[in-house]
Structures are given as structure tokens and as C-alpha cells.
A = this chain, B = another copy of it.
């Protein structure tokens, strides 16, 4: 990177980045101009830091770009909005191969194109570690945003996407048992889910249209994120662990690979506290027809103090409640 220079690198990256229907003025000026037909826009920012959120030994540039985009796109989806555009601040060490950065641009593009989001701007600088800070924008198309604060007693709790796959993939990688070194198409599903989470982004708008009363992107673990909805809405959320049987079936092999003896506790921990799958947790009125991709995973109850989140009626028995981005895992 250091030998190539900023402008040459940007010139190599820009052609790789997707344009979008909302882009009125793309990269290259002091700022971009993006259409906001709704006269409002949704905005969120999320950062990935090398050796904290990913390791270059496991993740390619493509993987990091994909993940940086998806974790941001999921935040827009969780408001019930349609993503329109991203900007990317990228800092990289001077000895980073240029191919990592062009791969990162390809990963961003691959995640953005299916949802119609453009990369409209960026900044590039040097540092000791790779840091990818993405800001994402979305359009609400006249709808109210779906916040965390609207869950009501009697609502059903529903989830779209995978639970625990990313955590299991990370556990495999940490144990040296993941297939990170293989080409993407040959990686096992849990490794792939960790490296390139692939949540059902379209389910966000579908949930809004179906009348979701609250919604969030499960990025820090189900218990922790369900707790955020419960606090913001002043309710209790009771989760039905059996509703994640399909995830448990997908995870049990990895658990057996990592632990001799009973593995149920480890599988449950991945499901309840694993982060980074970026599935959508939403609540719906009792008569709502759930959109495709959502399954009922619990019930909203009146608040009766702590605990805010219960599992099959009881305080959760797992060791931790999820990921602290600053202090690391709270486990």
C-alpha cells in the first residue's frame, strides 16, 4: 500500500464500487448527494477493527468488506427502511497488500448490490491496524421507523435469520477447526456464516409492512439485544428456546467437534448469546401475519421488574449475556 499512494488506490477502488438509483452525485467531490424521496433519511454507523472483530489470518479483504457492509445494512433493515447508500472510512497499515483493499471493495459491492445500495464516498488513511468504519443510509418510503420501543404485552416475538452460527464459526476458528483457509465456496456453513454473515435484509421492510411494533438487528447476542427491546418498551420478553431447534441442529456438530460429553449447554449459549449473525428480532401484534422468514420465538409480557428477558419462563442459565464491543466478550 505504502508504495502505491492514496490517489492510485482510490482510482483502483472506485470502479469496483456499486452505484445505486439514489446516487445523484457519486464519489470524487467534497461530498456526495443522495436522494431522500421520503424527506427523511435513516443513518447508522458501525466499525470493524482488526484483531478485535476480525483477524487477517482468517478473513480475506472480501470477507471484511462484506461484513462491514452487512452489519450496517442490517441496522437500516431493522428500522424498516430500504438501504440507499454507504460511505466508508478505511484505515490500513502501509504494508497491507493492495489486494486486501481491492478485495474489501469487492466484498462491499457484493453485499450492497442485491439491496440496491451504492457506495457514494470514502476516506483512506494509514494506521497500525485495519479499521473499517461504514455509515449507511436508508429511506423509509413514508413509513414510521420501527424502533425498539413499541413492543406491547401480548405481542409475539419473532426472529428472521440464523442464531448462533457466527459464534460457532468463531469458536471453530479460535480452536483452529474452521475452514477459513479454503475458498469461500468450500467452507463449511458455520465458518462461512462467521466470515460473511448473510441475514435476510429484505425481512426488515417486510416486517414494517406487516405492522412490526418493534425491531432490532441482533448483533450482540439474543439475550442482550432482546433486553434492549424489553427496556426500551418497558416489557418483559420470554423466549422459547425450542423455537431455535433448526439452529441447534445446525450447531450441534460443531459443538461436538469442540467439546467431549454433553454439548447442549454450548449450543444454547451460541443461540442465546452469540453475536454477529445480524438476524432481525421483531415483535408483532397477536393477530399479525408474520412475513416470510420470521418465526415466532417468544412472547411479550408485562414488565414485572428484573429479569427483562426470560427463557422458557426462567432467568437464563447461560454464563454471559453477549458482546461488549469495547471491553470484549462479557463471558
Q: Which of A29, A75, A137 is the most central at the interface, judged by chain B CB atoms within 10 Å of its CB?
A: A29
B34 touches A40 (CB 8 A): yes
Tell me whether B35 and A39 are in contact (CB under 8 A): yes
Task: Annotate A34-48 by CB proximity to B: 1 below 8 A, 0 otherwise.
Answer: 111111111111110
By beta carbon, the residue of chain B nearest A44 is B31
> A32, A85, A90, A136: which has the most chain B beta carbons within 10 Å?
A32
Q: Which residues of the partner chain B approach A52 to less than 8 Å between Cβ atoms?
A: 125-127
Given known pairs A49-B125, A126-B326, the reply for A138 and B43 (CB within 8 Å) is no
A111 contacts B by Cβ under 8 Å: no
Docked CA distance A94–B51 (Å)? 14
A48 to B, closest residue via Cβ: B125
| Min C-beta distance of A104 to chain B, whole Å | 14
Kindly state whether residue A123 has any CB partner on chain B within 8 Å: yes
Contact A47 to B89, CB < 8 A, known contacts A31-B42, A39-B35: yes
Given known pairs A31-B79, A131-B91, the reply for A25 and B147 (CB within 8 Å) is: yes
Contact B138–A5 (Cβ < 8 Å) = no
Which residues of chain B are near A140, meaning CB under 8 Å?
A: 33
A279 to B94, CA, bound (A): 29
Q: Tell me, yes or no, whether A217 is within 8 Å of chain B by CB.
A: yes
Task: Report how far A45 CA is from B90 CA in the complex, Å.
Answer: 10
Which A137-157 residues sit within 8 Å CB-CB of chain B?
Answer: 137-138, 140, 145, 147-149
State the Cβ distance, A185 to closest chain B Cβ, in Å. Answer: 31
**A31-B44, A33-B42, A43-B31 as given contacts; A87 in contact with B135, CB under 8 Å:** yes
Cα–Cα, bound, A23→B87 (Å): 20
Q: Taking the nearest CB of chain B, how far is it from the CB of A293, in angstroms? A: 18
Q: Would you list which residues of chain A between 293 and 310 have a CB under 8 Å from chain B?
A: none
- CB of B5 within 8 A of CB of A326, answer yes
Q: Are B40 and A91 in contact (CB under 8 A)?
A: no
Q: In the complex, A49 Cα to B15 Cα: how many Å?
A: 26
Given contact pairs A39-B35, A326-B126, A148 touches B29 in the complex (Cβ within 8 A): yes
Would you call A1 an interface residue if the criterion is a C-beta within 8 Å of the partner chain's C-beta atoms? yes
- Residues on B with C-beta less than 8 A from A95 are none
In angstroms, Cα B47 to Cα A122, docked, is 9
